[in-house]
Amino acid sequence: MDNRRLLLAAALSMAVLLTWQFLFPAPRPEAPPAPPPGAAATAPAATATPATNGVAEGVAAAEVAAPAPPAAAEPIAGESEDRFVLENSVLRAEFSNRGAVLVSLVLRGQVGPGGTELELVQPRAASPQPFTLVDAALAPLPVAEALFAVDPEEDAAGRALRFRYRGPLGSAEKRFRLRSDGRIDVELESASAGFGVMIGPGLRGRTVAELGNRFDRRLGSWRTQGEVETVEPSADSVVRLGSGLDWIALEDTYFLSALVPNGPVDGAAFEPVLLVAGADARSFDARPLPEGGKVAREDKDLARDLRAYLFARGERLELTTVWGPKDYDRLAALPYGLEKTVRWGMFGVLVRPLLMGLQWIHANVVANYGWAIVILTTLLKIALLPLSIAGFKSMRKMQKLAPKMQAIRERWRPKLRDKQGRFNAEAQRQMNEEVMALYRSEGVNPAGGCLPMLIQLPIFLAFYNMLSTAVELKWAPWVLWVQDLSERDQYFVLPLIMGATQFVQQRMTPPPPDPFQRRMMQMLPIVFTIFSFGFPSGLVLYWLTNNVLTIGQQMLYNSMADKSEGEAAAAAAPKPKGRKGS
């Protein structure tokens, strides 16, 4: 009974105390007055008093006043949204102080679609712009919507900008400095430790048709310990990279934008996105892939691209950015190894001199890359003439032996299988030995016609790789309807003419003795013509020029061979006996 009364009294006492605090709350301390706008907030100076044995002289320890709280930092922000430009003879970079982001980057002297200077920032309506700051989940930080105050910084060239913001949306500072060679040095600071910076998606504004061009391949790439790796826009999820990166880049066949950290970073990421078409033909907004990479049925036809992110280790990130064409000489002159993004394939050692030759012809002979391709192809044909002559002679000898070889095959054909239809390997071996004996007796090398072609194949592939990747051909015109040697012929004139010359060339070439090989050779003109419908015009022009030269070469060979054979036959023929005089 006493215990119950004690508990009831304690409960009543607690209720009285809570009711009192609710009805009569303790007065809140007054906030210190805010500093006037534009004035630096200063805290009252504190006088330090030396202590003896933990107690201030003449004052009891309990009477020592607590330190005053630090004053709030002065807000920094812009008054209105505006654009600011850094430019030189290489590029023109335009920034918005809304988030301190890049909204335009134009390459000076690089002609783009429609004859205008090339824009490397893809137009968009609402997606984040390059140099937006993000968190670890790739979401833009609140300062992405802030209006930054802008200070044009004077340097030796007068090409630098500093953006600063401090306020309710956070705190950040960005510095951009334009070098004479077009590189942009970037310094980023943020109160959000481990923040990231974004570029992309992709680079350059493209139409839907251009996004589907298989020869203009879009990639994300990075280099770690000298090795370059890539990721495709078709990836199903975000690709995250560790530290130790040399650089990361967004690239296509002809251009790139690269981020080169100037110190340790906390990793990087590539995010595949869907491109939703905007009001303009080259305007797209980026939409992240759904969780798990499963795209809705109505979005399956949307083009894809990549955004790239680089993350700070701490509250500061310093980097150098490289924007522009994938010009091998230009990239090789930089100390980053970015020339490895120019992919020439396994015959790259041959591509380099071919590209130098094309550039020299364009600079010194004819200022038209179409005619430069024609001249370079002609020079290569002349250089390979001895191999072509050797192959032609071997094929003529094989053509003469064709009836004898066919007779050997017909004689052995019944013996190649027994009555049950089983293959007779011994009969096949004996037939092959008889054919080889015929080759030896006539002094013919069966590989003589193929060997010159095999030797020329690496040069052909190197020429193909060079013409497929040379940024010099991008938007370079030739004649009349061919206004871009890096794009396919929209009227298919070049492919059809090339196919016709391929057919003529095939009919003039001595057919191989094997029936299967002969049928395959007859199909090649059709196959090559179909393939060439989607090839870049510069490559088809090379193919067409090579076919025309080969036809002329074949006509000359045939006339010379016919004349030589006629003279030999005349010399071998018995001379008629003269009649005796009467």
Residue 531 lies in a domain: yes
Same domain, 460 and 535: yes
Q: Is the dihedral of CA 111, 113, 117, 123 positive or negative?
A: negative
Q: Please tell me the least confidently modeled range out of 3-12, 102-111, 174-183.
A: 3-12
250 or 295, greater pLDDT: 250
- Considering 321, 343, 365, which residue would you say is the last residue of a domain? 343
Number of domains, the chain: 2
450-469 vs 537-572: helix crossing angle, rounded to 10: 160
Residue 483 lies in a domain: yes
Q: Which domain holds residue 544?
A: 354-404+446-564
Residue 211 lies in a domain: yes
What is the pTM (predicted TM-score) of this model? Answer: 0.73
Same domain, 232 and 305: yes
Same domain, 251 and 373: no
Measured CA to CA, the distance from residue 148 to residue 191 in angstroms comes to 15
Same domain, 137 and 110: yes
Average pLDDT over residues 419-445: 75
Q: Between β-strands 184-190 and 170-178, what pairing exists: parallel, antiparallel or unpaired? A: antiparallel
Same domain, 318 and 359: no
Between the two ends of the chain, the Cα-to-Cα distance in Å is 175
Same domain, 192 and 100: yes
Given a cut of 70, is residue 336 above it in pLDDT?
yes
Given a cut of 50, is residue 42 above it in pLDDT?
no
Average pLDDT over residues 456-474: 84
312-321 in b/e form (b: 16+ CB < 10 A) is beeeebebbb
The per-residue pLDDT for range 175-233, each reduced to its tens digit, is: 999 998 999 999 999 988 889 999 999 888 888 877 877 777 889 999 998 899 999 99
Residue 577 lies in a domain: no
How far is CA 71 from its chain centroid? 50
Residue 58 lies in a domain: no
The per-residue pLDDT for range 13-38, each reduced to its tens digit, is: 444 444 434 444 444 333 333 333 33
Same domain, 114 and 254: yes
Given a cut of 60, is residue 257 above it in pLDDT?
yes
Residue 52 lies in a domain: no
Same domain, 146 and 246: yes
Same domain, 268 and 389: no
